Amino acid sequence: MTRLLRFGLALLLVLGTASAASAQEDPVVAKVGDTEFHRTDLEQSYQELPEQFRQMPIEAIYDPLLDRLIDGQLLLEAAEAENLASDADVEAAIARARADVLRQTLIERAVVAATDDAALKAAYEERASQPDFAIEEVTARHILVETEEEAKAVIAELDGGADFTQLAMERSTDPAAARGGELGSFRRGAMVPEFEAAAFALEPGSYSKEPVQTQFGYHVILVEAKETTNPTFEETAPELRAELARTAVEDLLAEVREGAEVERFNIDGTPRE
């Protein structure tokens, strides 16, 4: 297991240099010549691992992580000894990596600034003021049968005063039959479209007067209650954060494009007409 883990981590080797830190707060965990690696370097290396490795506590893979840092430094020193830093391909790769880091850092800073708590709360208040913000929820029961004729017969019995819960227990083929057809409360999107449309069209205390056909058979639906509530801040925060982040990136791109001198050419290098 240890050999396999060490091999897996070696494949994920990331070259880097050690950072300076306080010996008390950030102790040295390894040294390669004069280069020191601190606990924060180890923790950073741990965070860079795939999720399957991060499911294990850092203590369980401590030595393989140290090997990852040590091997990375040794490979870096070997590359420097061969003066690979002056190789044209290496220089180009370093330049590309630097450009990627700079671009990503600029984007991340814009996103962080646009998605702080104040911005999220303001976005939530704005969303909550919209008429379509509220979520409708129904509490329902149903009776599921195989044929339309059976469903119509159930509706006829209900019209005659039969108890819905009792009929569900006797006639429904759905697992909820044992609970009198109880489905609990649900929002839009939780049920198949045909069932949802019929359920949300009913008023509390009423049942469907026509069979509702779905892929499962024919339903008779009873809506016991209907409630409209606003989603909480916690429920909407992930969606709001994604929207604010997307807007921040779009605004950033618009800003850097403004006034920039840009020319586009055809794929063969000729000017576009």
The pLDDT assigned to 132 comes to 84
Residue 127: inside a domain, yes or no?
Answer: no
- For 178-203, the pLDDT digits (tens) are 999 999 999 999 999 999 999 999 99
Domains in the chain, number: 3
The pLDDT assigned to 24 comes to 62
Residues 168 and 186 in one domain: yes
Structure tokens at 47: 């965070």
The pLDDT assigned to 131 comes to 85
Q: At what angle do helices 164-171 and 148-159 cross, to 10 degrees?
A: 150
* Cα distance between residue 149 and residue 210, in whole Å: 11
For residue 193, the one-letter residue type is P
Residue 262: inside a domain, yes or no?
Answer: no
Residues 78 and 92 in one domain: no
The pLDDT assigned to 9 comes to 44
Using DSSP's 3-state secondary structure scheme, residue 219 falls into strand
Residue 173: inside a domain, yes or no?
Answer: yes
Q: Mean pLDDT across the stretch 67-79? A: 94
Residue 267: inside a domain, yes or no?
Answer: no
Q: For the chain, give the percent of residues with pLDDT over 70.
A: 91
Please give the model's pTM, rounded to 2 decimal places.
0.57
Q: Mean pLDDT across the stretch 92-98? A: 94
Give the model's confidence band at 12: pLDDT under 50 very low, under 70 low, under 90 confident, else very high: very low
Residue 8: inside a domain, yes or no?
Answer: yes
- For the ranges 18-22, 25-29, 232-236, 263-267, which has the lowest average pLDDT? 18-22
Residue 205: inside a domain, yes or no?
Answer: yes
Residue 225: inside a domain, yes or no?
Answer: yes
Is residue 3 pLDDT above 50, yes or no?
no
Residues 187 and 137 sit within 8 Å (Cβ to Cβ): yes
* Cα distance between residue 115 and residue 251, in whole Å: 14
Distances from the Cα of 105 to the Cα of 25, 48, 96, 110, 241, angstroms? 27, 17, 14, 9, 18
Residues 147 and 73 in one domain: no
**Three-point CA angle 270, 272, 273, nearest 5°:** 125
- Containing structural domain, residue 97: 87-114
Q: Mean pLDDT across the stretch 47-61? A: 92
Q: Mean pLDDT across the stretch 207-221? A: 97
